[in-house]
Chains A and B, each alone.
Chain A
Amino acid sequence: MLRASALAVGQVHEQVVVDNLTRTQIVQYAGASGDYNPIHTDEVFATQVAGYPSVFAHGMLTMGMTGKLITDLVGDGQLLSYGGRFTSQVWPGDTLVARATLTSIEHTEGEAVANFEVATTNQAGVVVFQGSATARVLPD
């Protein structure tokens, strides 16, 4: 668990959450999540029927990979909220960097909560996921 006194507003934590995303990892996520939508799993359907340049990743795969940065940062079981918008598609071959920026720490009745802005960008600098997270931290 993080200590509030060890945190500074504006601090940025970042992590490469996937390097050269494979179609196989997208299928792996389909199998685990249960979402087999052919726009994610079936190149023939995605290109010839749906009209996309290739299959693309589930938004929830990007959010799940980005979640690793946050739980690595705040510790296990400390998250209070996590959410965001899928702002651009993620394609096979993409490399994603997730960033969490501490925006504030709130102290209430012996407890402390850290608020983070979260953004994940691809190798071209395009934001693919943008949101926020809040987590319990030690008040000191």
Chain B
Amino acid sequence: MAAERFPVESSHVLMFARAIGDENPIYADPEVGAKSTFGACLAPPTFVQASAQFDPTYPLRPRPGVTWFGSGATPSVAMTEAAERAKEAEATGEAAPSSGGGGRGSGLHAEQHFTYHRPLLVGEVLTVSTRAGETWEKQGRKGGLLRFSESITEYRGADGSLVVTARAVGVLTAQPVKEA
């Protein structure tokens, strides 16, 4: 994730808490927050994942001027456009571009781990830095190679000290993952 500045805002935390079905007032009611030992509302434990909202080029959010890979007039606008470009290139004798969207394989979230150095308060502005971790491969149970890659994200408060450390593991599958 490439968000560098992550303001932890009250309406965003409210929306996130609603989405996970958690009506705890410590996430939503400023009076409850002010009267708590923390002096402010808190963010739920998995909230830092929503820093994606502050990544200007986050690829899993549609953006103006960028072809989205979900459906529109066709099941996948991006794949339709890529196929048209390939057809055009073939017709004009140019080499076809290497196939980008493989189609039926996909990248999935395999693991997520958080370390909490202190509670995350609503109203803070965090700085975010992400680095790549290990990569490894494993043979899937139903055939097909699974490629795992790890990333470590540090969320720091205004004084530069760590608030949350997140470790994510993603897996790239050669085919759609079947229900276990």
Interface segment among A6-14, A69-77, A108-116: the answer is: A69-77
CB distance from A93 to the nearest CB of B (A): 13
Chain A residue with minimal CB distance to B109? A59
Q: By the criterion of a CB under 8 Å from any partner CB, how many residues of chain A are at the interface?
A: 52
Give the Cβ gap from A42 to chain B, nearest Cβ, in Å.
4
The contact size tier of chain B is 35 or more
B103 at the interface (CB under 8 A from A): yes
Q: Check A65 for interface membership: any CB of B closer than 8 A.
A: yes
Tell me which residues across on chain B come within 8 A of A79, comparing CB atoms. 45, 116
Given contacts A44-B71, A45-B76, A71-B44, contact A28 B18 (CB under 8 A): yes
> CB distance B49 to A60 under 8 Å?
yes
B15 interface residue, CB < 8 Å from A?
yes
**Cβ of B16 and Cβ of A33 under 8 Å apart?**
yes
Assembly CA distance A76 to B42 (angstroms): 8
Interface majority SS (helix, strand, loop, mixed), chain B: loop
B69, closest chain A residue (CB): A38
Central interface residue in A18, A48, A61, A76, by most chain B CB within 10 Å: A76
Known: A50-B176, A63-B46. A76 touches B15 (CB 8 A): no
Q: List CB contacts (< 8 Å) of A28-55 with chain B.
A: 28-29, 31-39, 41-42, 44-45, 48-53
**Does A92 touch B at the CB level, under 8 Å?**
no
Q: Which residue of B lies closest to A128 (CB)?
A: B180
- For residue B49, which residues in chain A have a CB less than 8 angstroms away from its CB? 33, 35, 60
Question: Is A139 interfacial (CB 8 A cutoff)?
Answer: no
> A32-B18, A79-B116 given as contacts; is B179 within 8 A of A89 (CB)?
yes
Of chain A, the residue at the smallest CB distance from B13 is: A32
Q: Are A76 and B36 in contact, CB atoms less than 8 angstroms apart?
A: yes
| B75 near A44: Cβ-Cβ < 8 Å | yes
In the bound complex, what is the Cα–Cα distance between A80 and B115 (angstroms)?
6
User: In whole angstroms, how far apart are the Cα atoms of A138 and B15 in the complex?
Assistant: 32
Q: Distance in Å from the Cβ of B42 to the closest Cβ of chain A?
A: 6
